[in-house]
Homo-oligomer: A and B are copies of this chain.
Amino acid sequence: MILGRCAACKSQRKRCPSDCVFSPYFPPDNPERFASVQKIYGASKVEKMLQELPPHLRAHAADVLCFEAQCRIQDPVYGCVGIISQLHQQIQDAERQLAMTQAQLAIYNSNNIIVQQLSQIPQIEENASNFNILGQFQNGPFTQAP
Does A52 interact with chain B (Cβ within 8 Å)? yes
Residues of B within 8 A of A98 (CB): 94, 97-98, 101
Do most interface residues of chain A lie in helix, strand or loop, or is the interface mixed? helix
Identical chains bound together, number: 2
Task: Report the Cα distance A104→B42, complex, angstroms.
Answer: 53
Interface residues of A (CB under 8 A from B): 40-42, 44-45, 49, 52-53, 57, 60-61, 64-65, 67-68, 72, 76-81, 83-84, 87-88, 90-91, 94-95, 97-98, 101-102, 104-105, 108-109, 111-112, 115-116, 118-119, 122-123, 125-126, 129, 133, 141
Q: Which of B78, B87, B95, B133 contacts A64 (CB 8 A)?
A: B78
CB contacts (< 8 Å) of A133 on chain B: these are 133
Give the complex CA separation of A62 and B41 in angstroms: 15
Among residues of B, the one whose C-beta sits closest to the C-beta of A44 is: B42
Q: Are A108 and B101 in contact (CB under 8 A)?
A: no
